[in-house]
């Protein structure tokens, strides 16, 4: 058995299935590039057959990514598999991931198929997929709740058909570490040709044990691939979190004895990028990437850490990308210093135009904010107006008046297809008035399903980072805005969400 643990990231597929986390093609491409920088082994880019939009995302990622394997999910039928193969054509290394449910409950109630039919379809699907591509993963959906004899029969058959990876998902997050680990072990012992494939774990977090279950699948069960997402993003309580599982294996190499190829120094940037893109805020006490993950508030801990770091620290903050809130740049910093800092933060802007746009925003921010932290720079480059080619709506300026006992009023000046317009409105508060002022002109009719404000670097001098989630005609989009003035940040976030609603790009549908 090899000592290499394969990290399979499914942020862009399973993560995106989380309601409200849908992403545009550009957003997915940026995240895929960050995953490549992280040296993720396999990037599950989407589910090509689920919509034209998702096909395009998989195709674009397959064209752009060179170092990681790019994978598309597909149901176990020829149409889905052919679509996945087509989307993966430009990939340097591509993988088709075909799945079918194997638990009695799913087969009977969801698929309305007999076990024999599922058995046959699994074989046919893997055979068809292997005719398209060499790297084929088979997943037994709801595998952990499946009958072990039936599952062994299916797995033996699909390995014979050429499946190179066998994934046993705990689809509903029902497993307990020891039981899940032993389940994988039993399967590997009982399937006669089990050594011909790599075994993979895919755990959901409904009972908060996705990371622990995945690690048990590796340690007890002998799996050598973990499927996970950045920040544990995913439906319901999410998936196994990449940063936690990777840092567990790295920090406790004494116990796991496995090599992971991940470059952990890019973890924080990846976490921030996913959080800013989806609007799913990272809780402060989240392991590895939470704002407090390396903060020592109590006097005893501070004293200990000052005397000897390892008294209370098992990992080094800088190893996962934290840079101790350094003041990195200021008003007088030039374009080269800015570009270099972006590179150090793992941010690669694609064109000179994007660098110029980001630098102009940086200068503007430096005029208004004396101290610029790494977090400010990351927020600034995740602002869509840096990367978006053409925007329908653009923020220009805002004025508002609020006074105790009076209804706040706002006037927002913004551009619509390059033409300056202004909207005015009253509201319950200054943010409400500002967004209503925009809406008074645009009349999108969209429903706001989420509004959140986050202080980027923790003090009142910090920039406010706002996420607005809008829903219209079945589409859900997230808009982000950052500014030292949270009312301006809110208006920018609202306009960014409107831009996404306006874009013709087909929304990516969740797994069917």
Interface positions with ligand KIV (CB under 6 A) = 14, 99, 139, 141, 167, 169, 171, 202, 204
CB 214 within 8 A of CB 226: yes
User: Helices 210-219 and 242-251 sit at what angle, rounded to 10 degrees?
Assistant: 40
* Residue number, 176 or 317, with CB nearest to ligand KIV: 176
First-to-last CA distance in the chain?
35
* Residue number, 49 or 491, with CB nearest to Zn ion: 49
* Residue number, 181 or 479, with CB nearest to ligand KIV: 181
* Residue number, 14 or 374, with CB nearest to Zn ion: 14
Task: Give the DSSP letter string of 156-204.
Answer: HHHHHTT-SEEEEEETTS---HHHHHHHHHHHHHHSTTGGGSEEEEEEB
* Least distance to Zn ion, CB of residue 395, Å: 38
Structure tokens at 201: 């774990």
* Least distance to ligand KIV, CB of residue 175, Å: 12
Structure tokens at 282: 């990272």
Between the alpha carbon of residue 293 and those of residues 268, 313, 327, 405, the distances in Å are: 11, 10, 20, 41
Q: 235-294: which residues touch Zn ion (CB under 5 A)? A: none
> Which stretch in 9-17, 189-197, 406-414, 471-479 sits in contact with Zn ion by CB under 5 A?
9-17
Q: Which does 224 bind (CB under 5 to 8 A by kind): ligand KIV, Zn ion, none?
A: none
Q: Which does 139 bind (CB under 5 to 8 A by kind): ligand KIV, Zn ion, none?
A: ligand KIV
Helix, strand, coil percentages (3-state) for the chain, rounded to 5, are 45, 20, 35
> Which stretch in 6-14, 154-162, 322-330, 416-424 sits in contact with Zn ion by CB under 5 A?
6-14
* Least distance to ligand KIV, CB of residue 393, Å: 35
Structure tokens at 429: 């508060």
Cα–Cα distance between 398 and 391 in angstroms, integer? 19
Q: What backbone phi and psi angles, to 5 degrees, belong to 469?
A: -110, 125
* Residue number, 175 or 249, with CB nearest to ligand KIV: 175
Residue 368: count of CB within 10 angstroms of its CB:
11
Size of the site for Zn ion (CB under 5 A): 1
Q: Which does 400 bind (CB under 5 to 8 A by kind): ligand KIV, Zn ion, none?
A: none
* Least distance to Zn ion, CB of residue 51, Å: 18
* Residue number, 22 or 467, with CB nearest to ligand KIV: 22
DSSP helix/strand/coil, 321: coil
* Residue number, 37 or 202, with CB nearest to ligand KIV: 202
* Least distance to ligand KIV, CB of residue 131, Å: 22
* Least distance to Zn ion, CB of residue 17, Å: 8
Q: Which does 95 bind (CB under 5 to 8 A by kind): Zn ion, ligand KIV, none?
A: none
DSSP helix/strand/coil, 417: coil
* Residue number, 72 or 277, with CB nearest to ligand KIV: 72
* Least distance to ligand KIV, CB of residue 34, Å: 22
State the greatest distance between any 2 C-alpha atoms of the chain, in Å, as a whole number. Answer: 77
Q: 95-114: which residues touch Zn ion (CB under 5 A)? A: none
Q: Which does 205 bind (CB under 5 to 8 A by kind): Zn ion, ligand KIV, none?
A: none
Q: Which does 338 bind (CB under 5 to 8 A by kind): Zn ion, ligand KIV, none?
A: none
* Least distance to ligand KIV, CB of residue 169, Å: 3
* Least distance to Zn ion, CB of residue 62, Å: 21
CB 46 within 8 A of CB 508: yes
**CA nearest neighbour of 215 among 165, 155, 175:** 175
> Which stretch in 7-15, 29-37, 267-275, 382-390 sits in contact with Zn ion by CB under 5 A?
7-15
* Residue whose token pair is 């004895």: 257
* Residue number, 99 or 150, with CB nearest to ligand KIV: 99
* Least distance to Zn ion, CB of residue 281, Å: 22
> Which stretch in 11-19, 110-118, 268-276, 473-481 sits in contact with Zn ion by CB under 5 A?
11-19
Q: Which does 141 bind (CB under 5 to 8 A by kind): Zn ion, ligand KIV, none?
A: ligand KIV
Cα–Cα distance between 373 and 237 in angstroms, integer? 32
Q: 12-31: which residues touch Zn ion (CB under 5 A)? A: 14
Q: Which does 145 bind (CB under 5 to 8 A by kind): ligand KIV, Zn ion, none?
A: none
Cα–Cα distance between 237 and 116 in angstroms, integer? 33
**CA nearest neighbour of 42 among 225, 203, 191, 175:** 225
DSSP helix/strand/coil, 446: coil
* Residue number, 135 or 374, with CB nearest to ligand KIV: 135
- Positive or negative, the CA dihedral 329, 335, 339, 340 is negative
Planar angle of CA 398, 399, 403, nearest 5 degrees: 145
* Close Cβ partners of 223 (under 8 Å, ≥ 6 residues apart): 168, 184, 199, 200, 201, 217
- Positive or negative, the CA dihedral 154, 155, 159, 160 is negative
* Residue number, 177 or 423, with CB nearest to ligand KIV: 177
| Closest chain position to Zn ion (CB) | 14
DSSP helix/strand/coil, 387: helix
* Residue number, 169 or 181, with CB nearest to ligand KIV: 169
* Least distance to ligand KIV, CB of residue 309, Å: 39
What DSSP element (H or E) covers 478?
Answer: strand 475-483
* Least distance to ligand KIV, CB of residue 12, Å: 13
Query: What residues line the site for Zn ion (CB under 5 A)?
Result: 14
């Amino acid at each position: 058995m090899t000592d290499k643990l394969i990290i399979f990231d499914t942020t862009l597929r399973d993560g995106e299935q989380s309601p409200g986390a849908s992403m545009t093609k550009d957003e997915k491409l940026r995240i895929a590039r960050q995953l490549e920088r992280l040296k993720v082994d396999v990037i599950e880019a989407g589910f090509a057959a689920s919509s034209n939009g998702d096909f395009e995302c998989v195709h674009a990622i397959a064209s752009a990514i060179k170092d990681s394997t790019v994978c598309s999910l597909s149901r176990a039928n020829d149409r889905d598999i052919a679509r996945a193969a087509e989307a993966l054509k430009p990939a340097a290394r591509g993988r088709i991931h075909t799945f079918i449910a194997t638990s009695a409950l799913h087969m009977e109630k969801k698929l309305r198929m007999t076990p024999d039919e599922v058995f046959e379809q699994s074989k046919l699907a893997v055979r068809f997929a292997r005719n398209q591509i060499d790297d084929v993963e088979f997943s037994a959906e709801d595998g952990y709740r499946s009958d072990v004899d039936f599952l062994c029969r299916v797995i033996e058959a699909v390995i014979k058909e050429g499946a190179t990876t066998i994934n046993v998902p705990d689809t509903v997050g029902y497993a307990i570490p020891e039981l899940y680990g032993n389940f994988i072990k039993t399967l590997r012992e009982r399937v006669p040709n089990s050594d011909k494939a790599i075994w993979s774990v895919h755990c959901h977090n409904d009972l908060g044990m996705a990371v622990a279950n995945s690690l048990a699948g590796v340690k007890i069960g002998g799996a050598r691939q973990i499927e996970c997402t950045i920040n544990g993003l995913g439906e319901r309580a999410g998936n196994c979190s990449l940063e936690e599982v990777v840092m567990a294996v790295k920090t406790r190499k004494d116990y796991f004895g496995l090599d992971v190829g991940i470059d952990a120094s890019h973890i924080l940037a990846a976490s921030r990028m996913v959080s800013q893109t989806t609007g799913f805020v990272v809780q402060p006490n989240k392991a590895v990437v939470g704002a407090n993950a390396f903060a020592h508030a109590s006097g005893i801990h501070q004293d200990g850490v000052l005397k000897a770091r390892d008294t209370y620290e098992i990992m080094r903050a800088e190893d996962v990308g934290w840079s101790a809130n350094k003041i990195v740049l200021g008003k007088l910093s030039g374009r080269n210093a800015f570009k270099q800092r972006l590179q150090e933060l793992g941010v690669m802007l694609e064109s000179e135009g994007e660098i110029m746009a980001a630098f102009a925003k940086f200068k503007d921010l430096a005029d208004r904010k004396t101290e610029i932290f790494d977090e400010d720079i990351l927020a600034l480059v995740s602002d869509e107006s840096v990367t978006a080619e053409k925007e329908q709506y653009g923020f220009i300026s805002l004025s508002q008046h609020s006074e105790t006992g009076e209804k706040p009023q706002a006037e927002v000046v913004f551009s619509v297809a390059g033409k300056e317009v202004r909207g005015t409105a009253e509201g319950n508060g200054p943010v409400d008035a500002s967004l209503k002022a925009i809406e008074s002109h645009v009349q999108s009719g969209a429903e706001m399903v989420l509004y959140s404000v986050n202080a980027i670097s923790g003090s009142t001098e910090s920039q406010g980072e706002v996420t607005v989630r809008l829903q219209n005609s079945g589409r859900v989009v997230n808009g982000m805005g950052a500014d030292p003035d949270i009312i301006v940040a809110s208006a920018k976030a609202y306009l960014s969400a409107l831009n996404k609603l306006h874009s013709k790009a087909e929304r990516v549908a969740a797994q069917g």
